Amino acid sequence: MAESFLLSRVLLRFRSGSRSLLSNLSAVALDSDGNLWVGSDELSQIDDQELNTLDRLSVLKCCEYGNHEPFPLHEILKIDDSLGEIDIEGLDYADSYLWLTGSHSTKRKKPKGKSLEKDIQRLTKVQPDPNRYLIARIPVVEGQLHQSCPDPKQPDRQLTAACLKQKKQGNHLMKALHHDDHLADYVANRLPGKENGFDVEGIAVRQNRLFLGLRGPVLRGWAILLELELEDADVDTLALKPLESSEQRYRKHFLQLDGLGIRDICFYGDDLLILAGPTMDLTGTQRLYCWRDALHRLNETVCELESNSLECVFELPYSSSGDKAEGIALFPCLGEANALLVLYDSPNSSRRVDQDSVYGDVFRLPF
């Protein structure tokens, strides 16, 4: 049971007026200076403006973070906040860069609960947000985000913010997937992410090799992990690089996760930790899986639980009223080097210390 792995809780203290942010936490990463970076799947309210932000928290004391500082992304990347939310669903820190991904999903308008007739009509409207098709890297030095700066570890190396080349209502990855045997119909038909449509939730990075976990679609119980490699195409633009000696621009890995979709991923050495949960907009089973030695199994297309490489580590506590596990990051805690921080979307009231503070969980990893 998950309770036997629960090690501690971490308190996150946000600045006043952050109630909406801490209700929509969807991604987390820890940088080399010990700062905690979080992303939200909604716009943040800053000085009466709705902006896409990344938010930094620094250590106050053991298991407590604060000094919250939001970083508006339009100041660093080519983002137009008027075009909607990025819907940040994945963060990772690697080699002095903070990497992030939007969901790449479409959305169906939500019922407002005022008029049944109007609500049913709203359900006919599916729309893409251009900002959701974002895969980007941003230099992080001493807890600050930069457009460009020298690498403090290698002074002759220049760190630059950059995005995967974008197209109208998409990017080069989505263009490539329009011809995919498994995913083309989901991409072309714009099925919403929360209805088993195409939905990226999780990014893990090793050098310029990226892994994207898909919440959906789940195909007859099989979840999908995309592997791609990026290269600099211009000063602020990244391009898909052919994988190894082939002309293939991405690789698919099919993981048997008992019908669950991928909600976040992170590397643990050469292993890949996979947070999994329901594909639909509901609460349900949440589990942590481990793909053993993933970095050396990249030629494997299919990975089953019956194999020696994929295992279920534990189940997270279930709640019918919230606590949707959305973000994971390695997090040394209380003398345990092998520990994992989990943050939750729609946190239960028991996690809410006040309007601007919330608890995350730290679980011990049994290996």
- For 90-120, the pLDDT digits (tens) are 999 999 999 999 999 988 887 887 888 888 8
How many domains, in total, are found in the chain? Answer: 1
d(C-alpha 22, C-alpha 24), whole Å: 5
* Residue 2 pLDDT > 80: no
The rounded percent of the chain whose pLDDT value lies above 70 is: 99
pTM, full prediction: 0.94
User: Is 230 within 8 Å of 208 (Cβ atoms)?
Assistant: yes
Which one is predicted more confidently, 115 or 26? 26
Listed range (11-25, 255-269, 292-306) with the worst mean pLDDT: 292-306
Q: Which class for 230: exposed (0-12), middle (13-18), buried (19 or more C-beta within 10 A)?
A: buried
The tens digit of pLDDT for each residue in 274-323 reads: 999 999 877 889 999 999 999 888 777 888 777 788 999 999 988 888 89
User: Is 219 within 8 Å of 118 (Cβ atoms)?
Assistant: no
Domain range for 23 is 2-364
Closest-CA residue to 161 (of 70, 95, 237):
237
pLDDT of residue 3: 54
pLDDT of residue 302: 83
The rounded percent of the chain whose pLDDT value lies above 90 is: 65
Q: At 1, is the pLDDT very low, low, confident or very high (cuts 50, 70, 90)?
A: very low
**CA 191 vs CA 121, 199, 212: distances in Å:** 17, 10, 19
The token pair that represents 350 in the structure block: 């028991």
Q: Which class for 100: exposed (0-12), middle (13-18), buried (19 or more C-beta within 10 A)?
A: buried
pLDDT of residue 177: 94
Listed range (13-17, 73-77, 146-150, 317-321) with the worst mean pLDDT: 317-321
Q: Residue 290 belongs to a domain with what CATH number?
A: 2.115.10
Which one is predicted more confidently, 228 or 19? 228
- Beta-carbon contacts of residue 350 (< 8 Å; ≥ 6 apart): none
d(C-alpha 141, C-alpha 147), whole Å: 11
d(C-alpha 48, C-alpha 45), whole Å: 6
Q: What is the mean pLDDT of residues 324-346?
A: 91
Q: What is the mean pLDDT of residues 66-71?
A: 96
Quote the mean pLDDT of the chain. 91
Mind spelling out the 3-state secondary structure of the chain? Answer: CHHHHEEEEEEEECCCCCHHHHCCEEEEEECCCCCEEEEECCCEEECCEEECEEEEEEEEECCEEEEEEEEEHHHCCCCCHHHCCCCEEEEEEECCEEEEEECCCEEECCCCCCCHHHHHHHCCCEEECHHHCCEEEEEEECCEECCEEEECCEEEEEEECEEECEECCEEHHHHHHCCCCCCHHHHHCCCCHHHCCCEEEEEEEECCEEEEEEEECCECCEEEEEEEEEEEEECCEEEEECCCCCCCCCEEEEEECCCCEEEEEEEECCEEEEEEECCCCCCCCCEEEEECCHHHCCCCCEECCCCCCEEEEEECCCCCCCCEEEEEEECCECCECCEEEEEEECCCHHHEEECCEEEEEEEECCC
The tens digit of pLDDT for each residue in 127-169 reads: 878 999 999 999 999 999 999 999 988 888 899 999 999 877 7
Q: At 245, is the pLDDT very low, low, confident or very high (cuts 50, 70, 90)?
A: low
